[in-house]
A and B are shown apart, each in its own frame.
Chain A
Amino acid sequence: MRVIAAMSGGVDSAVAAARAVEAGHHVTGIHLALSRNPASYRSGARGCCTIEDSNDARRAADVIGIPFYVWDLSERFHEDVVEDFMDEYAAGRTPNPCLRCNEKIKFAAVLDRALGLGFDAVATGHYARLHTGPDGLVEMHRAVDHGKDQSYVLGVLDQQQLRHSLFPLGDSTKADVRREAAERGLLVADKPDSHDICFVADGDNAGWLREKLGDRAPNHGGAIVDESGEVVGEHTGTYGFTIGQRKGLRLGRPAADGKPRFVLDIEPVSGTVTVGPRERLAVHRLRGIRPRWCGTVPGRLEGTVQLRAHGEELPARVDVGEDGVEIELLEPAYGIAPGQAAVVYDGTRVVGSATIAAAERVPA
C-alpha cells in the first residue's frame, strides 16, 4: 500500500512510520503544520506546533529513509478545532479538541488529501488495534498497553475512515516502542510524551481562552454561588471552568460542612458558576448527540462507556434512538461535562461515540 505517515516529531509516530515501512508499504512522512505562526499558539512547551517538532519529524523521516513534507493544515485546524474549542468553552461546555482533530483533520482533511494524491491509508502513532471482523468490517480495539490506550480519542472514526487507517503500535507497550526507537537510531526515543492540548501553552486553558476569546467571551466575570444561591465567591469568566473542577475556585469561605466543593453548573448567560459537594456531581444518565459509529449502528447495547481520556470504564446500557443516544450508567460517574465525548465499548471493541449534551444527576 501507499501510506502517508503523520509524524508529529514524537517517538510514537516515528516508530509507527518505521514499522509501516517494514511491513512493506511505500511510506511518505508528513508533518502537519497546524499553526501558520507557530509562536502564536504555543511556544517553548512541548506540543505539535513547534519548529523543533517539525525538525524532529524530518530527522526521523531521514533516518527511516522516507520522503518527508510539511502539510499546511493551519486554516482547517483553526476553523474546525480551535474555533470549536473556543465556542464550546464560551457556551459553558468542555470540548475535547483531540477527538475533534482526529475526526476533522487527521482522518478527514489529511486522509482525503492522501486518497486524492493516490495514497491508500494514513498511519499514525496512536495506540489502538485494528482488525477485520467476521462480517468484513474493520474493528477497532483497545491497545494492548492499557495505560497508553488511545482508542478513546479515535472513537469518532467511522468505518470509511478506519478502512484507511493504520495504527502500527496497537500491539506494543510504550516501553517497547521507546526501546525500538533507540534501536532504530531515532533520536526522539527519549523525548517526553506530550499531554496537554497542543495549542495551549503550559496547560493554562483559562489564560489562553481569556486572551483568545476577548470580546467573544460571554462574560469576563460573575458570581460563584452555592446550591442555595448564596454568593460564595467570584470569578473572571465562566469559560475558565469545567464541571467537576475543584482546583482554582478561590472561594473565600469554606463550606459549612468543611468538605471540598466542586463546580456543579456553569451558566454563561448570567455568568453564574454553581458549586457544591461531590455527591451532587453523581450522574446516572447521559444523553449524547452527534453519534459516530465505527461500524454497524447498534440498536441497544449493554457494554461500557468511557467519558474522558484515560478515564475509567463504566458499565452502561446504551440505547440508540432517532435523535441521539441514551446512556444509562450502572454506576454513577462524577464530574461529567456537556461537550465531552462518551465512547462506547463492547469489551475491548470501540462501538462508537457521542458528544454529551446533558447529564442527569442523581436526585438530591
Chain B
Amino acid sequence: MTSPTVYLDHAATTPMVPAAVEAMTAHLLQVGNPSSLHASGRHARRVVEESRETIAQALNCRPGEIVFTSGGTEADNLAVKGMFWSRRAEDPRRTRVLTTAVEHHAVLDPVRWLGESEGADVELLPVDDRARLDVEALRAAVERDPAGVALISVMWANNEVGTLQPIDEVVALAAEHGIPVHTDAVQAVGHVPVDFATSGVDALTLTGHKLGGPYGVGALVVGREISVRPLVHGGGQERDIRSGTLDTPAIAGFAAAVELAVKQQAEHAARVGALRDDLVRRVIDAVPDAHLHGAQLDSGQARRLPGNAHLGFPGCEGDSLLMLLDARGIECSTGSACSAGVPQPSHVLLAMGCTAEAARHSLRFSLGHTTTQAEVDAVVEAIGPVVERARAARR
C-alpha cells in the first residue's frame, strides 16, 4: 500500500514533460484571442504560429499543413469524414472507404457511420496474426474498383498490440491510383520515426497527451493539395477546415512536447525498448505459458512500438489480472474497449485470429518516458502470484 504507483499505461496517456508544462503555464494567464487584431491577439497568434512551425519542423511538414484540433479523436473524424465528403463531392463514384480491422475506434466508428448514414461502401481489411495489414488484400480491394475509392485509412502504429503498419507499401499502392491516404499516428509520433513529407501520406493524426503534451489538443496534418470538408463550422480559424477559438496555452504545450519527443525519439526508443524487452522476457520466465501478442521482439524496431508489451496469460481473465495488479499499485490495461460498461473482447485481437477466450486473457503494459527499471522489476515480481490467483478465481 505504501509503495509508489507503477504506471505502465502510457499508451492510454503519458505524463506531461516539464517543458510542456512550462510552455503551457507560461500562457495560461495571458489574455489574447489569436484571431484578434490588437496587441494581445497578435501575441497569442504569434505563440500559435510559432508552435505550428515547431511542430512542422519536427514532423517535416509545412506549417500551413497543420490543423489544430481537440485531440486524436477529432482529427481522425475530420480526416475520415472530411476527406470522404470532399472526394465524393468531386466524383460521386467515390463511395469506397478502405481501412483495417484493427483501427482505433476514433477511425472505425466514423468509418462505420459513413457506411450506415452516408452511403459509403466500407471495407475493413484483414491483418495477419501479428495485426499487420495484409497488403495484398488491400491491393485486391483497391484494384476491384480503384476509381470508386474515396480514401484509405491505415494506422501507423496499433494502440493495443503495438504493431507498426507497412505505411510505405500502402502509400505506394494508393499512389498508383491517385487515392489519398490517412494515417492515425497517435501512438507513433515520438516513439518511432515519423516524417510526414517522406512518408507520402496525405493526412496524419497526432495528439498531445500521448507524447508528453496536454490533453485535449492534437492536430491533423493535411497536405496542401488535399481538400477536407469541415466537421465543425464556425469562424473558420484553421484553414476553414476547423473552427473554434484556438487554445493558445495547450497548443504551446503541445508544440513543446512534440519538439522534445521527436528530438529524443531514437534515444527514448532504445531505452524504453530495452526495458520492454526485459519485461517481456522476465514475465515469460515467471509465467512460462504467457506469450507476447503482435510482432515478436526479434522482428526488429520496424515492426513494433518500443514501449508496448501485450501479453496473453492462458487460463486467466485479463480483468482479474488488472484488478489484482491494481491492488498492488501496478497500473496497466486490458486493452479491451468498454462498450456500454461491459468489457468486450478486443476487436484487434479478434481480427488477429484470437478466440474470444484468448482475447479475454490479455494484458497490455505500455512503457513510456518515466518508466524505470524498478517498475519493470515490480511487475516481474508480482506477475507470478497474480497469475496464480487469477487462475484460481477462474476454475
In the bound complex, do residue B324 and residue A117 qualify as a contact, i.e. CB atoms below 8 Å apart?
yes
C-alpha gap A113/B392 in the complex (Å): 8
Contact A117 B338 (CB under 8 A): no
Number of B residues with CB within 8 Å of any CB on chain A: 19
Asked if residues A28 and B323 are in contact (CB atoms below 8 Å), the reply is yes
On chain A, the residues within 8 Å of B29 by CB distance are none
Q: Are A116 and B323 in contact (CB under 8 A)?
A: no
Contact of A28 among B327, B340, B392, B395 (CB under 8 A): B327
Per-position binary interface string of chain B over residues 367-395, scored 1 when its CB falls under 8 Å from any chain A CB and 0 otherwise: 00000000000000000000001101111
- The reply to whether A31 and B341 contact each other, CB–CB distance below 8 Å, is yes
Q: Quick check: B393 and A38 within 8 Å, CB to CB?
A: no
Q: Which residues of A33-59 are within 8 A (CB) of B?
A: 33, 35-39, 51, 54-55
Asked if A69 is at the interface (CB within 8 A of a chain B CB), the reply is yes
Q: Which residues of A sit under 8 angstroms from B344, Cβ to Cβ?
A: 36
Question: Is B288 part of the binding interface, using a Cβ–Cβ cutoff of 8 Å?
Answer: no
Please tell me if the beta carbons of A116 and B393 are within 8 angstroms of each other in the complex. yes
Tell me how many residues of A have a C-beta within 8 Å of chain B: 24
Residues of B within 8 A of A38 (CB): 340-342
Asked whether B49 is an interface residue with its Cβ less than 8 Å from the other chain, the reply is no
Chain A residue numbers with a CB within 8 Å of B395 are 112, 116
Nearest CB on B from A119, distance (A):
9
Choose among A28, A37, A116 the residue that contacts B389 (Cβ–Cβ < 8 A).
Answer: A116
A72 contact from B319, B322, B327, Cβ within 8 A: B319
Q: How far is the CA of A112 from the CA of B390 in the complex (A)?
A: 12
Decide yes or no whether A118 CB sits under 8 A from chain B: yes
Q: How many Å lie between the Cα of A54 and that of B339 in the bound state?
A: 12
Q: Does A70 contact B (CB under 8 A)?
A: yes
Cβ-defined contact, A33 with B326, below 8 A? no
A161 at the interface (CB under 8 A from B): no
Contact B326 A67 (CB under 8 A): yes
Closest B residue, CB atoms, query A118: B389
- A70 close to B338 (CB less than 8 A): yes
Q: Considering the complex, give the chain B residue whose CB is closest to the CB of A55.
A: B341
Q: Are A71 and B319 in contact (CB under 8 A)?
A: yes
For B323, what are the chain A residues with a Cβ–Cβ distance below 8 Å? 28, 67, 69, 117
Measured in the bound complex, the distance between the Cα atoms of B336 and A33 in whole Å is 15
Interface membership of chain B positions 283-301, coded 1 if the CB is closer than 8 angstroms to chain A and 0 otherwise: 0000000000000000000
Query: Which residues of chain A are within 8 angstroms of B322 by Cβ–Cβ distance?
Result: 69
Task: Answer whether residue B92 sits at the interface, using C-beta atoms and an 8 A cutoff.
Answer: no
* Chain B residues closer than 8 Å to A67, beta-carbon distance: 323, 326-327
Q: Is B193 an interface residue (CB 8 A)?
A: no
Q: How far is A28 from B392 in the complex, measured between Cα atoms in Å?
A: 18
User: Chain B nearest CB: distance from A39 CB in Å?
Assistant: 8
Output the residue of B327, B342, B394 with the most chain A CB within 10 A.
Answer: B342
A174 vs B394: C-alpha distance when bound (angstroms): 36
Restricting to B288-329, which residues have a CB under 8 Å from any CB of A?
Answer: 319-320, 322-324, 326-327
Complex Cα spacing A37 to B394, Å: 23
Q: Does A219 contact B (CB under 8 A)?
A: no
Residues of A within 8 A of B342 (CB): 33, 35-38, 70, 72, 74
Tell me, rounded to whole Å, the shortest Cβ–Cβ distance linking B214 to chain A: 23
Distance (Å) between the CB of B283 and the closest chain A CB? 20
* Residue B234, interface by CB 8 Å: no
Per-residue interface assignment for chain B, residues 321 to 363, with 1 indicating a CB less than 8 Å from any chain A CB and 0 otherwise: 0111011000000000010111110000000000000000000
B324 nearest CB neighbor, chain A only: A117
Residues 223-242 of A, flagged 1 when their CB comes within 8 A of B and 0 if not, give 00000000000000000000
Report B-chain residues with C-beta under 8 Å of the C-beta of A71: 319
A71–B393 CA distance with the chains assembled, in angstroms: 12
Least CB distance from B217 to A in Å reads 26
Q: Are B319 and A69 in contact (CB under 8 A)?
A: yes
Task: Please tell me if the beta carbons of B319 and A117 are within 8 angstroms of each other in the complex.
Answer: no
Docked pose: A116 CA to B395 CA in angstroms: 9
Which residues of chain B come closer than 8 Å to A28, judged between CB atoms? 323, 327
Residues of B close to A33: CB separation below 8 A:
341-343
Q: Is the CB of B340 within 8 A of A117?
A: no
Minimum distance in angstroms from B158 CB to a CB of chain A: 24
Shortest CB–CB separation between residue B23 and chain A, in angstroms?
31
Chain A positions within 8 Å of B390 at CB level: 117
Closest Cβ neighbor of B390 among chain A residues: A117
* Beta-carbon nearest neighbor of A2 in chain B: B327
B12 vs chain A, min Cβ distance (A): 16
| Contact yes or no, A51 B341, CB < 8 A | yes
Knowing A67-B323, A117-B324, the reply to whether A51 touches B340 (Cβ < 8 A) is yes
User: Nearest chain B CB to A9's CB is how many angstroms away?
Assistant: 10
Q: CA of A39 to CA of B342 in the docked complex: distance in angstroms?
A: 12
Contact with B392, one of A36, A37, A51, A116 (Cβ below 8 angstroms): A116
Please, how many angstroms separate the alpha-carbon atoms of A171 and B394 in the complex? 34
Separation in Å of the A70 CB from the closest CB of chain B?
5
Q: Say yes or no: A37 contacts B327, CB within 8 Å.
A: no
Q: Mark B17-35, 1 if CB is under 8 A from A, else 0.
A: 0000000000000000000
- Which residue of B is nearest A112, CB measured? B395
Instruction: Give Cα A69 to B340, complex, Å.
Output: 13
1/0 per residue, CB under 8 A from B, across A107-144: the answer is 00000111111100000000000000000000000000
Q: Which of A54, A112, A116, A118 contacts B341 (CB 8 A)?
A: A54
Contact B327 A70 (CB under 8 A): no
- Minimum CB–CB distance for B247 against chain A, Å: 27
Report B357 CB to chain A, min CB distance, Å.
Answer: 12
Which A residues between 50 and 89 are near B, CB-CB below 8 angstroms? 51, 54-55, 67, 69-72, 74
Cα–Cα, bound, A71→B340 (Å): 13
CA distance A38 to B344 in the complex (A): 12
Q: Are A37 and B320 in contact (CB under 8 A)?
A: no
- A172–B223 Cα gap in the complex (Å)? 67
Min CB distance, B321 to chain A, in Å?
A: 10
CA distance A94 to B66 in the complex (A): 65
Q: Mark B198-239, 1 if CB is under 8 A from A, else 0.
A: 000000000000000000000000000000000000000000
Residues of B within 8 A of A (CB): 319-320, 322-324, 326-327, 338, 340-344, 389-390, 392-395
Chain A interface (Cβ < 8 Å from any Cβ of B):
28, 31, 33, 35-39, 51, 54-55, 67, 69-72, 74, 112-118
Known: A116-B392, A117-B389. 18 other contacts (CB 8 A): A31-B341, A33-B343, A37-B342, A38-B342, A51-B340, A51-B341, A55-B341, A67-B326, A69-B319, A70-B343, A72-B343, A113-B320, A113-B393, A113-B394, A116-B389, A116-B395, A117-B323, A117-B392
Which 5 interchain pairs have the tightest Cβ spacing?
A116-B393, A54-B341, A33-B342, A116-B392, A117-B393
Q: Sample 12 A-B pairs with CB under 8 A, ordered by A number.
A: A33-B341, A35-B342, A36-B344, A55-B341, A67-B327, A69-B323, A70-B342, A70-B343, A112-B395, A113-B394, A114-B393, A115-B393
